Each structure stands twice: as C-alpha cells, then as structure tokens.
Amino acid sequence: MIVEMRRGTTKEEIDGVVQRAKSLGLGVQLNVGTDKAVVAILGSNTGQLSTDIFAVLSGVESVIRIMKPYKLASREFKAEDSLVSINGIEIGGKRIVVMAGPCAVESEEQLMEAAKVVKGAGASVLRGGAFKPRTSPFSFQGLKKAGLELLARVREEFGMPVVTEVVDSHDVNLISKHADILQVGSRNMQNFALLTNIGKSKCPVVLKRGFSCTITEWLSAADYLLAEGNNKVILCERGIRTFADSTRFSLDISSIPVIKRFSHLPIIVDPSHAAGHYSLVPAIAKGAVAAGADGLLIEVHPNPKEALVDGPQSLTPSDFTRLMEELRSIAKSVGRYI
C-alpha cells in the first residue's frame, strides 16, 4: 500500500502512520518530497489488510493498493524522476551520460589509452571489467584485484568516475572502494543475495536487465536495492534473448518508454552487448537517445582486434569519436545535451 500524506503534514502525522504499520509487523519506506510525503507499507501479507486502517489516521490524504509486485521503484511511490548523482555528474536529467571503455581491463596501457580516447570524445564515466562472469570456467575471468587497482589508478589520473561489475556478494565492499559505480550484470539480475549486499552498501549501481526478464521482474529486482535504502539505482537495458539471430540479443527499445511510464528511475542503454557487432552499435545508440534514454554504456577498445573479450562488438577510438558527434546532434533535437 502507498499512503499519500496531505500537503503540509507534520512529522508527527508521518510518525503516526509509520508506528501503525510497525505495530502490524509491516515494513515501511518513506519518500519525503518538498511538497508532499509518501509512505510505502511493505510486507507480503498487505493484501489482507483494509486500506481503512491507514485512511483514518491524521494527515493521510489517500491510501492506494499497488497490485504490481514492485513498490519502491514505481511511479506511485515517487512521481518525479529520480536523479542519481556521481561526483557531480547527474544521471536522469537533461544531460545524456555516456559511459565508455573496454569490456575487460587488460593492462595499464590499454586502460590509459581507452580512458584518454573516451574522455577526449566526451564520455563522462569510464567502464572496464575486472571480474568477468564468463559462460565457461576455462575462459579469461578478468584481472580481478589487479584490475580494480588499475581502474582506481586511471580514475585518479583522468578524474573520471569508474563503473565496474561485481559478481560475488562478498566482493561488494572491496569493489566499492575502487569504483564509483557498481554494475550488476544481466546474469545476476536475480541474484538476490548480491542485490541485498549492494543495497546495504549505498553505492551507486547500474542494474542491467536480465536477458530474459520482464520489466516487472526488473523493477522488482530494483526493489531489492531500494528496500535496503540505496536509491542510487540506474537501470540499463542491454537486449533480451529472442529467436532473432542477426544480433547477439534483441535490444528492447520499447523498454525505455515503458520504464519512463511506470518507474521514476533513470534508464541507460548498452547497445554493444545487444548488437554483438560494432557495425550495428551506432544505429542502436542513436535510436536509444531519440527514444528517451538517459545515457549509454558503450564498449570502446584501443585495438578491438586484440581484445581478450568481446572484440567484435567494441568500437575503435575513431568510430566512437564520430558516434559522439552524431549523438550530440540527436540529443539536441530532443532537448538534451551530452
């Protein structure tokens, strides 16, 4: 249930609602905005309670049931768009935030070169994987701790925030020390132990859509993060698994307006993993910005042919620079900038 308080409600009235909920053994999450406050009442048995229990309390404007399984990620709980701020870069506002870099951190030289290129072309955040979840145990699994240290060094050198993937719930602390944004990969979107730990860390997080998960499941996964009090959640559409065989995954462009309709969270798009081939990345990236994405996550490698992971889908520095020019023009046409 979502309890909407009257404008000008007092702290005591809000407390009254919270106490009533707690007395019934229910959880509570607050969204106190500048002109009104909303209380989400959480708990699996909410369905059996009457809304009257809260409607009669002082200061309550209305009480609505949410039939969707997700609550905290919903527009009902928070009507205005959420902005996630990372070192002064705001995601979810007028600016389209581009995160770019190699799939995997391979060496200091590679990462420095990549950072130079993507920063020069206008990207705001550097991406790079230190822990790589690979389909086979016999594939390259990333540089791990050494990779994290390289990321931290490059972040220092270039003054760029860094995003990197976390694959084990017990690595959250370690990785959040070296990176500014944690990334939950598609295969871990429903790894609830991992989500809970990242929720507790309060670290900004990019939550990639599971490649076969519905939008309801995705927003419910976001609820695992939000329920722990971490509201720095950025959604990332990266393509879904379908019968189509011309691309690695099918980018679900419609997820952008669907998310904007049902959720307050910002959404970025990863065209590289969806496409699986560099030649298709620019068109998808441009489509995503025009459709309303708040940012992009793009693979760029100084030398794609020698990449240890995902070379075929990485842009070269010059391709990326050209794409950024085109994206600026499209961003402007929809009233935004990069």
Subset of 57-76 contacting a copy of itself (CB under 8 A):
69-71
Considering only 153, 217, 321, 322, the residue that binds a copy of itself (CB under 8 A) is 217
Instruction: Report 150-169 residues binding a copy of itself (CB under 8 A).
Output: 167-169
CA–CA distance, 96 with 180 (Å, rounded to integer) = 18
Pick 59 or 218: Cβ nearer a copy of itself: 218
Considering only 251, 265, 298, 324, the residue that binds a copy of itself (CB under 8 A) is 251
Q: Does 100 bind a copy of itself (CB under 8 A)?
A: no
Which two three-digit tokens encode residue 116?
């130079």
Pick 155 or 232: Cβ nearer a copy of itself: 232
Q: Does 81 bind a copy of itself (CB under 8 A)?
A: no
Stretch that binds a copy of itself, among 6-14, 85-93, 103-111, 326-334 (CB under 8 A): 326-334
Cβ atoms < 10 Å from Cβ of 141: 17
Considering only 120, 242, 306, 325, the residue that binds a copy of itself (CB under 8 A) is 242
Number of residues engaging a copy of itself in binding (CB under 8 A): 77
Q: 68: helix, coil or strand?
A: coil
In this structure, are residues 92 and 292 in contact, taking their beta carbons and an 8 Å threshold?
A: no
Stretch that binds a copy of itself, among 53-61, 111-119, 182-190, 298-306 (CB under 8 A): 182-190
Considering only 57, 152, 174, 330, the residue that binds a copy of itself (CB under 8 A) is 330
Q: 17: helix, coil or strand?
A: helix
Pick 85 or 329: Cβ nearer a copy of itself: 329
Q: Quick one: how far is CA 134 from the chain centroid? A: 21
Among 155, 149, 237, 166, which residue's Cα sits nearest to residue 201? Answer: 166
Pick 4 or 237: Cβ nearer a copy of itself: 237
Instruction: Report 273-312 residues binding a copy of itself (CB under 8 A).
Output: 274-275, 279-280, 282-284, 286-292
Pick 118 or 227: Cβ nearer a copy of itself: 227
To 5 degrees, how large is the angle CA 6–CA 17–CA 62? Answer: 40
Which two three-digit tokens encode residue 67?
């039939």
CB of 85 to a copy of itself, least distance (A): 25
Residue type, 267: I
Considering only 133, 153, 312, 322, the residue that binds a copy of itself (CB under 8 A) is 133
CA–CA distance, 254 with 241 (Å, rounded to integer) = 15
CB of 157 to a copy of itself, least distance (A): 29
Q: 78: helix, coil or strand?
A: coil
* Ramachandran bin of 79, using left for φ above 0, alpha for ψ from -120 to 50, beta for the remaining angles: alpha
The β-bridge relationship of strands 125-127 and 97-101 is parallel
Q: Does 208 bind a copy of itself (CB under 8 A)?
A: no
Stretch that binds a copy of itself, among 5-13, 53-61, 97-105, 237-245 (CB under 8 A): 237-245
Instruction: Report 5-44 residues binding a copy of itself (CB under 8 A).
Output: 27, 42-44
- List Cβ neighbours of 175 (8 Å cut-off, separation of 6 or more): 130, 131, 148, 164, 166, 182
Q: Does 261 bind a copy of itself (CB under 8 A)?
A: yes
Angle between helices 108-121 and 145-158 (to 10 degrees): 40
The β-bridge relationship of strands 60-64 and 2-5 is antiparallel
Considering only 172, 227, 298, 338, the residue that binds a copy of itself (CB under 8 A) is 227
